[in-house]
Amino acid sequence: MSHPPTLITSRPLDEYCRLFGLTRSSLGTLPGPVLDCPGGAAGLVAEARALGCQVIAADPLYALPAPDRTALARAGRAAIATAAGTDPGRYLPGGHAHRPEKYLRSWDRAHRLFAADSAAHPDRYIAAALPRLPFAEGTFALTLSSYLLFAYPELFAADDQLAALLELVRVTAPEGEVRVHPLYDGSGRRCPHLPELRATLGAHRISTEIRRVAPSDRAGRPHRILILRAVNRRSSRLRTPAGIHLTTAQPTRRTDARALGPQPSTRAVGTSTADAPTP
């Protein structure tokens, strides 16, 4: 299984909430499990469990030995530290622009949680890649995908983005939704064909919404996420994590495109909190 030259991030639960417009209480009351794809080396699975929310993370990263996963996560941490030192206003959430070490400590804690939890509960970390996920239709109440599909246009052309989004909707319950962030690439350039992509999704009986997410603190800035829902698909009984059915689909391509800002040797995706132009 090949892995692209991208960086793995270790985002904590609170950062997921900020990115996707979620709250801890809303996660705790979901009627079924959550999919995080790509999951990277984040603390979401472990932290959400404490809220009563069951999360499955999917990423080809999990096919690698633990030392390799750790090395990639440390490289991601080093990248954000470098980027934050150069342009903290762009690469750090609003409340952390003048406190980069506090933000990095939240990543350190998230990575420690990931390392311990993935060792203790490997069944919650599935080695898989878009556009083919090994889950039955309608498995998840909520599906999250960050810093991947629109962030890497050199890896995901328009037809690849469509295939990936259709797959994310397929594994999400009809009464659930898919949330995708960001809608721009590493240069802050919005996806130029997003209107056409949304029209094509509509032809596949998938509704789309661009939602403005307000900052969680006064220093933050609003951003936008893409929300997808299946239209007129018969409701399916949500599965508990213990009953999640894995199909025989195998990972076929790269993900966790969670890169953290331009590096000397490659163009990577920033964690900028600045919003792209409204689609």
Q: Side chain identity at 91, as an amino acid letter?
A: Y
Whole-number pLDDT of residue 233 = 73
Whether residue 33 is preceded by a cis peptide bond, meaning omega within 30 degrees of 0, is no
**How far apart, in whole angstroms, are the C-alpha atoms of residue 181 and residue 99?**
24
Distances (CA, A) of 99 to 9, 52, 85, 88: 19, 31, 11, 9
Contact 156, 194 (CB under 8 A): no
Q: Residue 101 is inside which H or E element, if any?
A: helix 100-120
Per-residue pLDDT of the chain (279 residues; tens, 9 = 90+): 343 457 799 999 999 999 999 999 999 999 999 999 999 999 999 999 999 999 999 999 999 999 999 999 999 999 888 887 877 767 777 655 567 888 899 999 999 999 999 999 999 999 999 999 999 999 999 999 999 999 989 899 999 999 999 999 999 999 999 999 999 987 889 999 999 999 999 999 999 999 999 876 555 678 999 999 999 877 666 665 555 666 654 444 433 333 323 322 222 323 333 333 333
Q: How do beta strands 140-146 and 34-36 pair?
A: parallel
Q: Which of 275, 236, 239, 260 is nearest to 86 (CA)?
A: 260
Q: Which residues pair with 228 in a beta bridge?
A: 178, 208
CB of 29 within 8 A of CB of 41? no
d(CA 79, CA 234): 44
Q: Name the residue among 112, 150, 111, 152 with its Cα closest to residue 11.
A: 111
Domains and CATH numbers, the chain: 13-243 (3.40.50.150)
Query: Nearest to residue 272, comparing CAs of 226, 228, 224, 227?
Result: 224
pLDDT at 237: 62
pLDDT at residue number 270: 30
β-sheet with 206-213: strand ranges across: 125-126, 55-58, 34-36, 140-146, 172-181, 223-230, 206-213
pLDDT of amino acid 218: 54
Structure tokens at 248: 């025989």
pLDDT of residue 238: 64
